[in-house]
Amino acid sequence: MIELNASNLSASLSWPIIGIVAFMVGGLIVASERWHGRFTDDTDLHKPQAMHKKPTPRVGGLAVVAGSLAGLLVLGPHNMTLTWLWPALFVAALPVFVSGLLEDITKDVGAGKRLLAAFISAGIAWWLLGGVSRVGLSWADTLLSNWPIISLVFTVVAVGGCTHALNIIDGMNGLAGMIATLMAVSLALVALQVQDTPIFLIATALASAALGFLVWNFPFGRVFLGDGGAYFLGFMLAELAVQLVVRNPSVSPFYALAVLFYPVFETLFSIWRRKFKRGVPVDQPDALHLHQLVFRRLVRVTFSRDRRHALPALCNAMTSPYLWVLALIGLVPATLWWDNAWALCASMLCFAAVYIWLYIRLVKWRRPRWLLLPSLGRSGRHH
C-alpha cells in the first residue's frame, strides 16, 4: 500500500524550491557566460560527438548539484535517516563530480582518470553505506554476504560503470537530463511502494533538480550538463538503486539493473561495436551512438528539406524524444514489476531487442517510415 505521511507531504512542498534553485543557478551560468566562457565553454565544434554550432557552457552540473544540495538542507530535518544518508551520498559523490567538473573546465582529465574517480566514489559509498549483498543468484549472494572484499569489488565496478555510462548518452539537448529524471522518478515510485522514505525523498529531489536544469538545456541548449553533471547524476542514481535493494529485501536485485539499463546497454554495445566490429580502441570517441544515428537519419534529413525550420538547436532537441520513448520501454515495466525477476529480465530483453532493431535499420538506411517526422512525409519520398 502506498502512503505518504504528514511529514513527507510537508517535505514534498519543498520540491519546487529544489527545481527553482537549479533553474536559478543554470540561469546565472548562462547570464555570466561572457566572464567564464573562455574556461567553461565547449568550443570544440569538430569533435565526433559535437552536435552544437556555437560555444556553450558545459558546467550545468553545478545547477543540478546546487538544487540537490538545497534539497539536502530543506528536506533533511523531515527525516532522521535522511540526515545521514544524503550527506553520505554527497561526500561519496565528490571525487567523481570534481573530476568531471575539472574536465569541463580544463578539458584535460582523461576518461580513464574520470572512471577511476567513479570507482573511488563507489568505494567510499560502500564504506559509508554498504554495497551490493545480493544479485538474485544463491551462490553469488553467499559470496557477496560472506566475503566483504568481493562485495567491495563488485559494488565498485557496478556503480562506477553505471556512473560512467550515463555520460555516454549525454550527447543531445535534453537527452541525459530527461533520462536521469525518468530513472529518478522510477526509483521514487518504487521507494514509495516499499515505504523507503529517504530513498523516495532523495530520488524526487534529484528529479526536481534535473528538471530545473532542463529548462536551460532543452530545447535550445543554452547550457550543457557536462561531465560533472552527468557523473554526479549517474553516481547518485546508481547508488540509490543499490541502496534501495540493500534496504528492502522485497525489491528484486534485477530492478537495480533494469532501471539503469539504457545507459548500461549503450555502453556495452559501444564497447562491442568498437572492439569487434570496427577494431578500434574501446575508448576512442565516434559518432555512431544510437542517438547520433537518430539525429542524422531520422531528424536532420527532415529539417534539411524544410529550410524554414533549419534551426540546429531545435534539430538537435528533436532527437531526444525518440530516446525518451525508447528508455520508457524498459523503465515502465521495471517500475510496475520491481519485485518480479522474470518480468524485469523480460523488460531488459525487450529494450535490447528494440534498440538493436532500430540501430540496424538506421545503419543500413532502412529507417521506418512511421518514425520520420511529418514534414518529411509532405516533401516526398525518403532515400
> What is the mean pLDDT for each group of 10 consecutive residues in the chain (383 residues)?
48 74 95 88 63 79 93 70 83 96 91 94 95 90 92 95 92 93 97 92 93 93 93 97 95 96 95 86 83 88 56 76 96 97 97 96 88 57 41
Chain centre distance of CA 290: 15
DSSP character at residue 291: H
pLDDT at residue number 382:
42
* Cα atoms in the Cβ-side hemisphere of radius 13 Å centred on 137: 4
Report how far residue 209's alpha carbon sits from residue 38's, in angstroms, rounded to the nearest whole number. Answer: 26
pLDDT score recorded for residue 81: 65
Q: What are the residue ranges of helices labelled H in 194-340?
A: 197-217, 226-247, 253-259, 261-272, 290-294, 300-304, 312-317, 320-336
| pLDDT for the residue 378 | 43
Q: What is the pLDDT of residue 377?
A: 41
Task: Give the model's pLDDT for residue 44.
Answer: 65
> What distance, in Å, lies between the first and last C-alpha atoms of the chain?
53
Cβ–Cβ < 8 Å for 166, 237 = yes
**Which has the closest alpha carbon to 11: 91, 79, 98, 101?**
79
Reading the block at residue 153, the C-alpha cell is 569489488
Cβ atoms within 10 A of the Cβ of 349, count?
11
Query: Which residue blocks in 169-225 are alpha helix, DSSP H?
Result: 175-193, 197-217
Helix, strand, or coil here: 150?
helix
Q: List beta partners, residue 294.
A: none
Distance CA 103, CA 97 (A): 10
- Distance CA(260)–CA(245), nearest Å, equals 13
- 234, HSE (Cβ side, Cα atoms, 13 Å): 35
> Count of CB atoms within 10 A of residue 17's CB?
18
pLDDT score, position 283: 76
Residue 296 exposure: Cα atoms within 13 Å on the Cβ side: 17
Q: What is the DSSP letter of 53?
A: S
Helix (H, G, I), strand (E, B) or coil at 111: helix
What local confidence, expressed as pLDDT, does residue 296 receive?
87
User: Is the distance from CB of 367 to CB of 302 less than 8 angstroms?
Assistant: no
Say what the pLDDT of residue 136 is. 86
Domain spans of the chain, in order of start: 6-379
Cβ-based neighbours of 19, under 8 Å, separated by 6 or more: 67, 208, 209, 211, 212
How far is it, in rounded angstroms, from Cα 164 to Cα 87?
22
